[in-house]
Amino acid sequence: MQYFKSRAVSVSHVGLAPPGGPSRSAASSRTNRHDVVGCTATAQNLSSGCTIFQLWALTRSQERLQSTTAIRDSQKAGRTSNSRSNVDAVPQKRSSRPRPRRPKHAQQQQQQQTSGSAPSPSPLPEAPSRSGGPVHVGQELELECARLALEGKGVCLLPPTGFVVLVERTLPGEHVRAEVVSVRRGYAEARKLASLSPHRNAVPPPCPYFGPCGGCTLQSLQYEAQLQEKRNQVEQTLRRVGRLGPSLDQLAAEAAACRRDDDGGGESNGGDGGSRAGGGVAAAAGCQDPFAYRNKMMFHFSTKCWLPPDMVEERPCLGLLRPGTADVVLPVVQHGCKLQGAEANVLLARAEQLVLEQGLLPYNHPSGKGTLKHLIIRSGSGARPAGSVAPVAAGELLIGFGVTHGSAMKQLKPVAEALGGEFPNLVGVVAQVVALPQPFARGTAAVPPGGLQRGSRDRGPRHGDGARKDAPGSQPPPPPADNGDALDGEDLAGGTGTGAGPVTLLYGTPYIHDNVGGLTFRISPGSFFQTNSRQAEVLYDIVRRAAALRPGAVDTVLDLYCGTGTIGLSLAADCRRVVGVEVADTAVEDARSNASLNSIDNATFVCADVDTIQRNLLAATLEEPAPTAATATSGVVPAPDVVIVDPARGGLSLDAAAFLSRCGARRVVYVSCNVATQARDLDRLCNGPGAPFRLVSVQPVDMFPHTDHVEVVTVLERRELQLAATATATATATTAPAAAAATSSGALGSVV
């Protein structure tokens, strides 16, 4: 924080209080309202913007309601005037303000939900109130943090009822003094005033921007403790949202039995995705180096430069979005971001200097002046010559500019060439006219639809949430396909359907290369790629073991949401053929190019929406050996033995889940960057009468150290197969590969 104090600046106060600042301004209370407006906190809605806080609070309140009569009585009594059991000491203030109307986008969001039934439907309020729970706004509390919520806040349970209070930057086990800033039905949010006793594994955060920057909420927690917390979050979410408690208990019992058999007390590792720690969920696979791991970072240009805690300077700057805003930027260029490599940080600083020297200005709302929106730096290890396994000597860097008008290209070209001359590893500079977030287009508030997001690295305003090219007030296009790139920023980097213009090449080549698991991948600006290449190797290795492909390369693998083909291509050597399905055409082109780059000839990539393939499957004859050009374009895929799904944060649609149920695959490996939606999907696939799958393993993988995000690999096995396997264990063990191949290439349903 020294950094902020030492800056001598001329400032203008714009009425935005610091996060949870002493007197929250109208703007910041609007922020809170947006967080929940229009959300029904059911698992169903997680894909459309509801936060895990709400879900957590909902399940907590449901548990409380179910737990004891006393609590039920007190809840009931809470609706009467003299029932404020634990707020008696504090006079209740009743808000006389009218209840705010839900914004239109929130209503639209709800209308767009097509995800089907939720596991535990129960509405949360449409807007926060100043009172209504056992606490009220402004009340000071002493709390102990019980655990982390999925979005990085500490969950504190207020005695005696266990009412949930979420406190920012609070770690499990930490005692804090906090002030309530908003109260909603079922939970409250509070800002930390002081840490009374820190987490036993607290460490000094190495980044000078820690705190104000919303990106690394866990940086002050020792890395091993972060991994433990993430594992716990995964288990809790699968139990609460996915109703997978019995399955996890069974996995835990099996693991315990294995340990007893081993007689050594070691953890089980049956080749099904990893070792199982307590509760049926494996210990999270951590990174060897939890810093400088990101191969892609997005930085925003703005005329509103935030100098924490509460100053905003009107000057052009480049940095990370201030949490809860869409156009106020924390300038991080001076010290760089510790999550990306040193060379990328140097390039970042130089790029900012050159564009400003060139006279280019950040886009400014509401004046409409300026054209610069964002800058993305992608890095890769570079292309490895065919057949070589030696490390690549020099890395590759690619810059992508997002601008609001094509006129910026001419001025950016000399900047691109100058950067190319100065940075030998910079292989390309591209630019794209990007859509502006809806609020800019409408000229209303700087709050993106779906509520405000925390730091830009986490989400930022979601790309394509609204769009305009040049005309303020023009109608935004329909929402784009979510590309799962939530941690990666938007637009240029994210790819699909952003309402953005074509990519313009300003210098060099429009793609970079990276290496994962001995394979080289070409990555275009519009294609998804795992943002932590080193850990992607660990992830794909876990997926390979989880797939449990039969010996003899007899299986057909379907890689749904395949991106640049990484997972499918990693499995290609061990299976008969791979078919990848991906909606982004640039990613499909990359995947095809990656197959030939790595001399892989048993992989086919289909550009299609996964949601449409079930219909085509049912309509099609499925015995053809591989998709032809005609079937590939119509989304027809062959009957798979194993399906890998790695969807975007919204998880699987009902159609996609139905496809998994009916496609006949014996195994599904579900890779997810959002355990909440994954839990919802697993509930559909594994629970209830006729559910086709059984949960076999759960392996968290830490792709995003210091953030509250976690990747989870779960394995599902078809139930019919399990029964058959039990009955014919001996015969199965001696089945010839040829017979297995015959089964695997059969028509849809032949395995069932």
Ligand X SMILES: C[S@@+](CC[C@H](N)C(=O)[O-])C[C@H]1O[C@@H](n2cnc3c(N)ncnc32)[C@H](O)[C@@H]1O
Q: What are the residues binding ligand X (CB under 6 A)? A: 481-484, 495-496, 528-530, 561-564, 566-567, 581-584, 587, 609-611, 646-648
Min dist CB 657 to ligand X, Å, is 13
For helices 69-77 and 52-67, the axis angle rounded to 10 degrees is: 120
User: Distance of CA 637 to CAs 209, 546, 566, Å?
Assistant: 48, 22, 18
Query: Which CB sits closer to ligand X, 32 or 604?
Result: 604
Query: Which CB sits closer to ligand X, 17 or 435?
Result: 435
**Of 610, 527, 634, 510, the residue nearest 561 (C-alpha):** 610
Q: Are 717 and 691 in contact (CB under 8 A)?
A: no
Query: Which CB sits closer to ligand X, 113 or 358?
Result: 113
Min dist CB 356 to ligand X, Å, is 33
Q: Is 287 left (phi over 0), alpha (psi -120 to 50) or beta?
A: beta
**Residue numbering of the annotated binding site:** 530, 561, 582, 646
Contacts of 254 (CB under 8 A, 6+ apart): 268, 276
d(CA 42, CA 56): 10
Q: Are 675 and 238 in contact (CB under 8 A)?
A: yes
128: burial class by Cβ within 10 Å (0-12, 13-18, 19+)?
buried
Min dist CB 540 to ligand X, Å, is 8
> Identity (one letter) of the amino acid at 615?
R
Query: Which CB sits closer to ligand X, 268 or 678?
Result: 678
Min dist CB 380 to ligand X, Å, is 13
Query: Which CB sits closer to ligand X, 329 or 583?
Result: 583
Query: Which CB sits closer to ligand X, 40 or 566?
Result: 566
Radius of gyration of the chain (CA): 26
Contacts of 471 (CB under 8 A, 6+ apart): none
d(CA 467, CA 401): 17
Min dist CB 641 to ligand X, Å, is 18
* Residue in the structure block whose two tokens are 């001696």: 734
The tally of CA atoms less than 13 A away on the side-chain side of residue 205 is: 22
Query: Which CB sits closer to ligand X, 316 or 525?
Result: 525
Min dist CB 315 to ligand X, Å, is 36
* Residue in the structure block whose two tokens are 């007689």: 263
Structure tokens at 499: 């309402």
As a residue count, the chain comes to: 752
207 is annotated as an active-site residue: no
Query: Which CB sits closer to ligand X, 452 or 669?
Result: 669
Contacts of 63 (CB under 8 A, 6+ apart): none
Contacts of 536 (CB under 8 A, 6+ apart): 516, 517, 530, 566, 703
**Residue numbering of the annotated binding site for S-adenosyl-L-methionine:** 530, 561, 582, 646
Q: Are 230 and 286 in contact (CB under 8 A)?
A: no
The active-site residue out of 213, 607, 673, 686 is 673
Give the residue nearest to ligand X (CB): 563
What secondary structure does DSSP assign to 636-657, as a single string? --PPPSEEEE---TT---HHHH
Min dist CB 483 to ligand X, Å, is 4
Beta bridge partners of 184: 187
Min dist CB 366 to ligand X, Å, is 33
The tally of CA atoms less than 13 A away on the side-chain side of residue 587 is: 30
Which are the catalytic amino acids?
Answer: 673
